[in-house]
Structure 1
Amino acid sequence: MDKISLDKEVILNATEEVIRRFGPEKANISDVAKSLNVSHAALYRYYNGKNVLWNAVTERWLSNLHAASNEIIKEDKPADIKLFHLLEDFAEAKRRSAVNDPEMFANYLKLAQSSRDVIEKSVEEGTNCIKDIIVQGIAEGIFFEENPDQAAKTVYLATSVFIHPNSFDDSNRKQNIESVVDLLIRGLKNPNRTDK
């Protein structure tokens, strides 16, 4: 591969493939350079070391994983229905990835233990999506909430148990997700609204 065709996207794609091929424990930057037929130095011009490159791969993977969230936010539906869809998507996206893309999910788990920046950014983005819907619900009169920021953090924390791998094989998982989400939404509802 010549230098002109080497860019960040090409490197990220190659890194994902290397992680999938060797797993996050064994994959290294030498494998990425070899798969692209370039030297380490060529990669370091774009990413200053393995940690930076692996963080970038995981950040992009998380962004793609939650792409459906942006579509849910744009739905022309009442806030309570949108919030239900969003929280279900948050819970199911990571489980689907663990089943369909286990190496990248394992890479995410490894990163979660060693580098909090990417994970914290993902949590912040998720919390902001929830807050946007809560604010919409307040404007619609569906939700009554004095502090949308805190409510969004609380909702995110309450549902984050479902993104943990320990919850993936629970035979009551779908029912538990629906029960928790339903309870949270009922807690946000405006008590003065007559069409509850």
Structure 2
Amino acid sequence: MEKIALNKEIILNATEEVIRRFGPDKANITDVAKSLKVSHAAIYRYYNGKTALWNAVTERWLTNLHAPSNDILKEDSPADIKLFHLLKEFAEAKHRSAINEPEMFANYIKLARSSMEVIEKSIEDGINCIKEIIVQGVKEGIFFTKFPHQAARAVYFATSVFFHPNSLEDPDRIQNLESVVNLLIRGLKNPNK
């Protein structure tokens, strides 16, 4: 019998705790159910198996990780400044997570490797944020491109090396990121301005 009222948020919170305790490879739905004092069948009412649950945990982590990006999109700044801030935030978000919660960061990296559809959605969300700023820049007459989505993809992939966990240890990472971003912004700028 269920001892508590379940919902997806409660299950995700419990799953994160179980993953912290056992790691993503050893943790399972039975562990989550035990921590909530419910049957594993109760969890299956919300998530169709371990993969779905682990994907939901990874998606929530990525959403929380990139939440500050939404504030940057709302900034009252010219597009070139906003784009610089956004790309720097993309790089710094994972760095902060690695420093503030190293065990969870390591766990999420493992989870992310097996959650390709979640990762692909996160990448597309990032590209769409960049596209929104590029469209703003075109309207402001700062950027020149006929294909904002293609330009956004190019900007994302040109800077994605700085978002990757392997880059976090590079002492010149921020300086290199800023150099690349400045180069990309110059490439997007309208030559008539």
Cα separation, 1, equivalents of 2:30 and 2:4: 20
Measured after TM superposition, the shift of residue 150 of structure 1 is: 0.4
Q: Give the structure 2 partner of residue 93 of structure 1.
A: 93
Q: Give the structure 2 partner of residue 182 of structure 1.
A: 182
Q: Give the structure 2 partner of residue 62 of structure 1.
A: 62
Q: Does structure 2 conserve the Cα–Cα contact (< 8 Å) formed by 1:19 and 1:103?
A: no
The letter of the residue matching 1:16 is E
Measured after TM superposition, the shift of residue 188 of structure 1 is: 0.6
Measured after TM superposition, the shift of residue 115 of structure 1 is: 2.6
Cα separation, 1, equivalents of 2:165 and 2:61: 17
Q: Give the structure 2 partner of residue 79 of structure 1.
A: 79
Q: How big is each residue's C-alpha offset from its partner over 1:53-112, in whole Å with a ceiling of 9 and x where there is no partner? A: 000011011011100011100111100000000000001101211222233322332233
Q: Does structure 1 conserve the Cα–Cα contact (< 8 Å) formed by 2:167 and 2:173?
A: yes
Q: Does structure 2 conserve the Cα–Cα contact (< 8 Å) formed by 1:24 and 1:104?
A: no
Cα separation, 1, equivalents of 2:115 and 2:166: 21
SS at match of 2:76: coil
Q: How big is each residue's C-alpha offset from its partner over 1:16-46, in whole Å with a ceiling of 9 and x where there is no partner? A: 1111222222222121111101110110111
Cα separation, 2, equivalents of 1:43 and 1:49: 8
SS at match of 1:5: coil
Q: Which runs of 4+ in 1 moved over 6 A?
A: none
- TM-score after normalising by structure 1: 0.93
RMSD: 1.4
- TM-score after normalising by structure 2: 0.95
Compared with structure 1, are the counterparts of its residues 30 and 4 closer, same or farther at alpha carbon in structure 2 (3 Å cutoff)? closer
For residues 13-162 of structure 1, the aligned pairs below 5 Å read 13-162=13-162
Q: How big is each residue's C-alpha offset from its partner over 1:138-185, in whole Å with a ceiling of 9 and x where there is no partner? A: 000000111101000000001110121221111111111111111111
Residue correspondences, number: 193
Cα separation, 2, equivalents of 1:147 and 1:134: 10
Query: What residue ranges of structure 2 are gaps of 5+ in the alignment?
Result: none
Q: Does structure 2 conserve the Cα–Cα contact (< 8 Å) formed by 1:135 and 1:148?
A: yes
The letter of the residue matching 2:104 is M
Query: What residue ranges of structure 1 are gaps of 5+ in the alignment?
Result: none
